[in-house]
Amino acid sequence: MRALIQRVTRASVTVDGQKIAEIEHGLLILVCAMSGDTETEADKLAQRISKLRIFKDDAGKMNRAVSDIGGACLVVSQFTLAADTSRGNRPGFSTAAPPEVGNHLYLHFAGALRGLGLAVQTGEFGADMAVSLLNDGPVTIWMDTADRS
């Protein structure tokens, strides 16, 4: 699975003019299930992100995880993280998991974060979403479970 993690002061998702999710200080996590991914990858990604120390401690060092600061997570499905831009000008998305698998793993990932004690809000899988955020830092980190064995 792939994720783009942003440390945020606030973030929200709007669908059809209605705000469906909103968090204050925490993480905006854009996530994409890749072809061949399973719940194991979703669980590993949730574990890694939950322990990611990117929030400042009292000395101003990035030494705290989202749970340490009482932050929340806003999880948004984003199949475009699977973009293959190696040929031509139009990205291909054939490496993304099929929609039914992607939705299942997206929901499983959000549930895994909740299971780790984190407050989690979600976007709407497959919807045309307007995502608003105030990036804090800015701190933006890319993770891919395929990068680790």
- 61-110 pLDDT, tens digit each: 999 999 999 999 999 999 999 999 999 899 999 999 999 999 999 999 99
Catalytic-role residue among 78, 121, 122, 145:
78
* Measured distance CA(43)–CA(102) in Å, rounded: 14
Catalytic-role residue among 9, 40, 47, 80:
80
User: Can 79 be counted among the known catalytic residues?
Assistant: yes
User: Can 140 be counted among the known catalytic residues?
Assistant: no
Q: Is the pLDDT of residue 149 over 70?
A: no
Catalytic-role residue among 79, 121, 122, 145:
79
Q: Is the pLDDT of residue 122 over 80?
A: yes
- Is the domain covering 2-135 a CATH 2.40.50.100 domain? no
pLDDT at site 148: 60
pLDDT at site 147: 82
88 vs 36, residue with greater confidence:
36
Q: Where are the domains of the chain?
A: 2-135
User: Can 80 be counted among the known catalytic residues?
Assistant: yes
Average pLDDT over residues 10-38: 98
Report the percentage of the chain scoring pLDDT > 90: 96
